[in-house]
Amino acid sequence: MLTQDAPCSTSPSIETAPPPLVVLCGPTAAGKTIVAKELVEAARELELVPPAKGLMTALSGDQWPDLVRTWLNSEPGDDPPKRPDVDRRTDLALLRDLEIHSGARVVESAVLPMLLPAANTALVIRLTATPMVRARRIQDLVPEVTFQQACAIVDRKDFATCVAARAAWGIDIAERSAPRWRADLSVGCPHEFECPDENGCVDAVVALVRGAYAVYQCFLTGETFREWEQSMLHFKGLLSTHQLFVGRCSPLLIGSCREHTVAQWRHRLLFELDATEGLL
Ligand SMILES: [Zn+2]
């Protein structure tokens, strides 16, 4: 069971529709960039906020031999966090950018879901994959590294991301509970050791993310009941088809509540903290 039914609010509320904001989080090589691109492709109103240069982006470029060497030369934990002040400024600039721009946006960030207020109007999606599956993806980009080296890169990058978040903000993103319940949808490749069908897994994850986005939009824009119901039933169908890919889903995305307002979405965690968590 993924979720439990959300109680309905009894008081109607009026709030100006904020622009959609999709926040994609999750570890290196979990698929954030490809999902962001596919979502922007499907929902033309969305604009992609250029991410800080992530490991996967860097590995796709020309500098990867040096980059790989730096990740393999020492053990995880050898390096102190490099520039927490720079990380803080980067995150603050992103938050300000999201606040002052009125357009619909998609952003990739490991730490942003934990910096947003608990009552926010974003759609937070966490992408997941096991370290071994993520290591295989790195190997696909850099075939010269062995599987063991790719695993070491994943370990180091995960560790460095956690250290940076702790140094910049005092946030422990390795802690299991909070990052999960801050995500409205947690989806990813369900395979443990090796993904037998990367394209199929990406397609399933993208379909789920698109489906969730359609329902989320109904909350922001106050679509008619019929439009909301259609989106919600379509998304429920996707959840049923791809249930192995889903670790957590906000009850509001599949709830039977007749209201779908901005205020209800903003305060969704009031309904959701008891939602059942899955395995991802
Ligand atoms: Zn897979």
Range of the domain at 37: 21-272
Alpha carbon 178 to its chain's center:
14
Q: Name the token pair of 28.
A: 């290196």
CATH number for 169: 3.40.50.300
Dist. CA 198 → ligand 1 center (Å): 5
In a domain, 96, yes or no: yes
Do 105 and 21 contact (CB within 8 A), yes or no? yes
Pairing of strands 104-108, 46-48: parallel
Among residues 125, 107, 97, which one has the least CA distance to residue 253?
125
Residue type, 175: E
**CA 93 – CA 87 distance, rounded (Å):** 10
**CA 67 – CA 71 distance, rounded (Å):** 6
Residue 193, classed as helix, strand or coil, is: coil
Which residues are found with C-beta within 5 Å of the ion, ligand 1?
A: 189, 191, 195, 201
The predicted pLDDT at position 214 comes to: 95
In a domain, 2, yes or no: no
In a domain, 217, yes or no: yes
Q: Name the token pair of 115.
A: 């910096």
The predicted pLDDT at position 185 comes to: 95
The per-residue pLDDT for range 9-23, each reduced to its tens digit, is 444 445 678 899 999
Report how far apart, in Å, the C-alpha atoms of 170 and of each of 28, 39, 111, 114, 174 are: 20, 31, 11, 11, 12
Residue 89: count of CB within 10 angstroms of its CB: 12
In a domain, 109, yes or no: yes
Dist. CA 237 → ligand 1 center (Å): 20
In a domain, 3, yes or no: no
**CA 264 – CA 93 distance, rounded (Å):** 28
Q: Which residues contact 94 (CB under 8 A, 6 or more apart)?
A: 49, 107, 109, 112
Dist. CA 196 → ligand 1 center (Å): 6
Dist. CA 190 → ligand 1 center (Å): 6
**CA 252 – CA 268 distance, rounded (Å):** 7
The per-residue pLDDT for range 126-163, each reduced to its tens digit, is 999 999 999 999 988 888 889 999 999 899 888 888 88
The predicted pLDDT at position 2 comes to: 44
In a domain, 11, yes or no: no
Mean model confidence pLDDT for the chain? 83
**CA 58 – CA 64 distance, rounded (Å):** 6
Dist. CA 145 → ligand 1 center (Å): 21
The per-residue pLDDT for range 223-244, each reduced to its tens digit, is 777 888 899 999 999 999 999 9
As a whole number, mean pLDDT of residues 169-194 equals 87
Dist. CA 272 → ligand 1 center (Å): 28
Dist. CA 207 → ligand 1 center (Å): 14
In a domain, 220, yes or no: yes
Among residues 139, 130, 124, which one has the least CA distance to residue 180?
124
What pTM was estimated for this model as a whole? 0.86
The per-residue pLDDT for range 34-93, each reduced to its tens digit, is 999 999 998 888 888 877 666 666 677 766 667 677 767 666 555 555 677 888 888 888
How many structural domains are present in the chain? 1
In a domain, 1, yes or no: no
Among residues 266, 267, 213, which one has the least CA distance to residue 235?
213
